Amino acid sequence: MNRNDLRRVDMNLLVIFEALMFEKNLTRVAEKLFMGQPAVSAALGRLRDLFDDPLLLRNGRGMEPTARALAILKELQPAMDVISGAVSRAKEFEPQSSCDVFRIGLSDDAEFGLFPPLLSQLREEAPGIIVVVRRANYLLMPALLASGEISVGVSYTTDLPANAKRKKLRDIPCKVLRGDKRPGPLTLDEYCERPHAMVSFSGDLSGNIDLDLAKIGRSRRVVLGVPQFSGLRALLAGTEMIATVPDYAACALVEGCALRAEDPPFPIEAAQLSMAWSGVHDNDPAEKWLRSRISQFMSEPLNIPTP
């Protein structure tokens, strides 16, 4: 196919093709691209004609890409990244008049403890934008960035796609949350003896806190695992349970309630909260504006009320 023949190719079809390869589900693609499912189904039919291949085949209740589809994706995705970057860099960004849609991945602690003031600032500067938040953590972040489902994410991060960039926002010091009325801070013995609640996205009942306890020959007793931080306020109030959480989550949780936050009675190695983004958006004016606001509002030190 020469350049003149490219006029016959609908770029929208290629965007739908990429989404289909990652989602493998017509309904989810329709939701992601704000389309009707019949329109996605029709687009898949046109893509099959274009590439002369079934592209997606039924496999039980799901769908799987053909070998030819995966080969096309491998060739097509870098080209689409280049096109997207070139178009983005060609336009100026004016927050006050923008109607852009920003897709951000946030870990639960970042969404609960740091996102509200960021959103307030974004809405003040750019009242016409739409912000879509996807739940992300170090396990989900690479796939979300690679597929283009988010342009930027904030979480503790490990492995990232080859073209991703990363910036440290802050360390993640921990605080111990408690809802009892006993005076004085917890001793190490009391900390280990108390029942613990733990926020665990995956359902695991151990984490870095347990590794730090093991270094000093101690352990804790986790009796409750919950998937998000917002529930801790009601669950800990008036009980003997305690929870060890990032300082910014603690700051949001103690506000306006009987919970209190204190320093842990043993050293905890602070993890890092990072911002990661796809390299294709590195010079996009709108994305640069968004990342600057994330850096500003998710890096600031906190003043946590003392008991």
Q: How many CA atoms lie within 13 A of 264 on its CB side?
A: 22
The model's pTM: 0.70
Q: How many CA atoms lie within 13 A of 187 on its CB side?
A: 3
pLDDT, position 153: 95
* pLDDT tens-digit readout, 193-216: 999 999 987 778 888 899 999 999
pLDDT, position 2: 55
Length of the chain: 307
pLDDT, position 124: 96
pLDDT, position 307: 47
Average pLDDT of the chain to the nearest whole number? 88
Cβ-contact 214, 267 below 8 angstroms: no
Q: What is the mean pLDDT of each run of 10 residues along the chain (307 residues)?
A: 65 88 88 86 91 89 89 86 68 87 94 94 96 91 88 90 88 94 94 95 85 96 93 93 95 89 94 91 90 91 52
pLDDT, position 147: 83
* Architecture of the domain made up of 174-269: 3-Layer(aba) Sandwich (3.40)
* pLDDT tens-digit readout, 136-168: 988 888 889 888 889 999 999 888 877 889 999
265, with CB counted inside 10 A (0-12, 13-18, 19+), is: middle
* pLDDT tens-digit readout, 244-261: 999 999 999 998 888 999
Domains 95-172+272-299 and 174-269 in one fold: yes
* Architecture of the domain made up of 5-89: Orthogonal Bundle (1.10)
Cβ-contact 245, 251 below 8 angstroms: no
The domain ranges of the chain are: 5-89, 95-172+272-299, 174-269
CA distances 183 to 178, 180, 237, Å, are 11, 9, 15
Cβ-contact 244, 268 below 8 angstroms: yes
60/306 Cα distance (integer angstroms): 56
Cβ-contact 138, 153 below 8 angstroms: no
- State which fold the 95-172+272-299 domain adopts: D-Maltodextrin-Binding Protein; domain 2 (3.40.190)
